């Protein structure tokens, strides 16, 4: 593909974040990274310019779009000496927009995961959110940040920072929230995702990335052969609408015990009330971690030899086993079908519905505070 330098996306990207006026910063961004010219992605959504961008080093290659700040491809080495694209997605911005509510590769929020009855109370004031999951709000509602065009404010060959300002009361949430997400390729085979945000009014915030993974390759028919390990002794119990009851359930002796590596498909059909509710795994794992950045999970696919390790600062990890995927869904990249349980998600997060559960770790963000979170997906060959 032809490549070209897109200067307009590097300066004055957002009034809320200010014009990037430093000549040194702009020179570095303009000379060390390219956007990828792609007729399928070049264009406008909601009146804002959309592009495809590429990051690459010796270990990993990524393309992403500023629509939803989402990952489009993620290519990593496999045991045969080639590379495998391990995330699902589409071949054009138009397809992402038309199918925005499956969240492929996107940054989701303002509140990743579910909020029960699409409402919460903060400082005595009730807030009503958009209902897009029955009576609940999922991933920020229909006006979530996954459905917005972000501004590119800084780039290098191996890193890109995107910004979005969510206005007060967008999707029902209080406060004007200025947020940034930075994707960085690490020399050890990691894809690091750093989140920063501030608000002018007390609010709640819970951002995460919603990549759908298949380590056998995007378009492979199943993830049930993947071996998964999660460092968690409990899950958050959910009701029939997948909203937390407030109770923790120990995983020991159940289908949810991934404290040692086991195949995803080993117990997914067990007689278990929580599995029946989720039609498989769609639960928050309460991580056995202290404050700080730590390894919390690992996945391995023997077919390709690819292992993915997950590191995060977050207290929870939503494991979703693709239970609502189906053959009739719109076809993905290269016309491939993404059938039932052909992908998994490991979404680092605070707990679902935390604003309605005082016993959960708080997701409240106040003026003068800085929201900061980091997750890394690290890839190697075994």
Spatial separation of the C-alpha atoms in residues 154 and 101, rounded to whole Å: 28
Is 357 annotated for ligand binding?
Answer: no
* Interval 216-242: pLDDT, tens: 999 999 999 999 999 999 999 999 999
* Interval 183-198: pLDDT, tens: 999 999 999 999 999 9
Contact 148, 68 (CB under 8 A): yes
Spatial separation of the C-alpha atoms in residues 191 and 194, rounded to whole Å: 10
If you write DSSP's letter for every residue of 298-332 in order, what string do you get?
EEEETTTTEEEEEEES-SEEEEE--TT--TTSPP-
Under 8 Å CB-to-CB from 314, ≥6 apart: which residues? 208, 287, 348, 349, 350, 373, 375
The answer to whether position 261 is within a domain reads yes
Is 143 annotated for ligand binding?
Answer: no
Spatial CA neighbour of 215 closest among 203, 202, 228: 228
Lowest mean pLDDT among 6-15, 77-86, 346-355: 6-15
Task: State mean pLDDT over 4-19.
Answer: 34
Model confidence at 290, pLDDT cuts 50, 70, 90, reads confident
Q: Is the pLDDT of residue 169 over 70?
A: yes
- pTM equals 0.90
Q: Is the pLDDT of residue 3 over 80?
A: no
Contact 114, 137 (CB under 8 A): yes
Is 113 annotated for ligand binding?
Answer: yes
Is 212 annotated for ligand binding?
Answer: yes
Q: Which two tokens stand for residue 335?
A: 């016309």
The values of phi and psi at residue 273, to 5°, are: -60, -40
CATH number at residue 374: 2.70.98.10
Cross-strand pairs, 70: 65
Contact 345, 211 (CB under 8 A): yes
Is 110 annotated for ligand binding?
Answer: no
Q: Is the pLDDT of residue 29 over 70?
A: no
The answer to whether position 88 is within a domain reads yes
Handedness of CA 218, 223, 225, 229 (dihedral sign): positive
pLDDT of residue 24: 36
Contact 216, 329 (CB under 8 A): no
Contact 163, 150 (CB under 8 A): yes
pLDDT of residue 36: 64
The answer to whether position 370 is within a domain reads yes
- Assign residue 240 a region (left: φ > 0; alpha: ψ between -120 and 50; beta: otherwise): alpha
Model confidence at 38, pLDDT cuts 50, 70, 90, reads confident
Q: What is the dihedral of CA 170, 197, 64, 343, to 10 degrees?
A: -80
Element (H, E) at 30: helix 23-32
Q: Which two tokens stand for residue 91?
A: 């071949």
Q: Is the pLDDT of residue 53 over 70?
A: yes
The answer to whether position 23 is within a domain reads no
* Interval 302-352: pLDDT, tens: 999 999 999 999 999 999 999 999 999 999 999 999 999 999 999 999 999
Spatial separation of the C-alpha atoms in residues 382 and 379, rounded to whole Å: 10
* Interval 67-76: pLDDT, tens: 999 999 999 9
Task: State mean pLDDT over 170-194.
Answer: 98
Whole-Å CA distances, 236 to 41, 118, 188, 205: 39, 19, 33, 19
Burial 216-243 (b: 16+ CB within 10 A, else e): bbbbbebbbbbbbbbbbbbbbbbeeebb
Q: Is the pLDDT of residue 205 over 90?
A: yes
Tally of domains within the chain: 1
Place of tokens 């079908």: 337
The answer to whether position 24 is within a domain reads no
- Residue 339 CB coordination number (10 Å): 17
Is 146 annotated for ligand binding?
Answer: no
Q: Is the pLDDT of residue 288 over 70?
A: yes
The answer to whether position 44 is within a domain reads yes
Residue numbers annotated as active site: 210, 347
Full residue range of the structural domain in which residue 90 is found: 35-381
The answer to whether position 30 is within a domain reads no
The answer to whether position 20 is within a domain reads no
Handedness of CA 33, 77, 85, 316 (dihedral sign): negative
């Amino acid at each position: 593909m032809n490549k070209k330098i897109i200067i307009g996306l590097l300066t004055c990207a957002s009034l809320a974040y200010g014009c990037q006026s430093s000549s040194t910063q702009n020179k570095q961004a303009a000379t060390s990274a390219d956007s990828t010219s792609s007729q399928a992605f070049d264009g406008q959504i909601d009146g804002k310019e959309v592009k495809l961008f590429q990051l690459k080093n010796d270990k990993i290659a990524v393309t992403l779009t500023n629509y939803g700040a989402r990952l489009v491809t993620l290519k990593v080495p496999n045991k045969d000496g080639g590379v495998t694209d391990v995330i699902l997605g589409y071949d054009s911005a138009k397809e992402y927009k038309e199918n925005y509510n499956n969240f492929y590769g996107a940054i989701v929020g303002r509140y990743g995961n579910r909020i029960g009855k699409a409402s919460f109370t903060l400082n005595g004031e009730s807030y009503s959110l958009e209902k897009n999951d029955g009576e609940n709000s999922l991933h920020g509602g229909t006006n979530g940040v996954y459905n917005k065009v972000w501004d590119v404010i800084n780039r290098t060959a191996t890193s890109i920072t995107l910004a979005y300002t969510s206005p007060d009361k967008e999707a029902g949430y209080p406060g004007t929230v200025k947020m940034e997400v930075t994707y960085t390729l690490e020399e050890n085979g990691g894809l690091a995702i750093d989140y920063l945000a501030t608000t002018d009014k007390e609010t709640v915030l819970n951002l995460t990335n919603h990549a759908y993974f298949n380590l056998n390759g995007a378009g492979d028919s199943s993830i049930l052969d993947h071996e998964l390990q999660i460092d968690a002794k409990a899950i958050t119990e959910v009701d029939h609408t997948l909203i937390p009851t407030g109770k923790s359930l120990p995983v020991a002796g159940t289908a949810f015990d991934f404290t040692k590596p086991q195949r995803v498909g080993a117990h997914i059909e067990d007689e278990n009330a929580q599995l029946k509710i989720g039609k498989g795994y769609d639960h928050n794992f309460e991580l056995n971690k202290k404050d700080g950045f730590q390894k919390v999970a690992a996945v391995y696919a023997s077919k390709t030899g690819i292992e993915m390790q997950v590191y995060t600062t977050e207290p929870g990890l939503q494991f979703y086993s693709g239970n609502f995927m189906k053959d009739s869904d719109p076809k993905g990249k290269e016309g491939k079908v993404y059938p039932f349980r052909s992908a998994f998600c490991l979404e680092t997060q605070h707990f679902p519905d935390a604003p309605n559960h005082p016993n959960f770790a708080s997701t409240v963000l106040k003026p003068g505070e800085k929201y900061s979170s980091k997750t890394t997906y690290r890839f190697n060959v075994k």
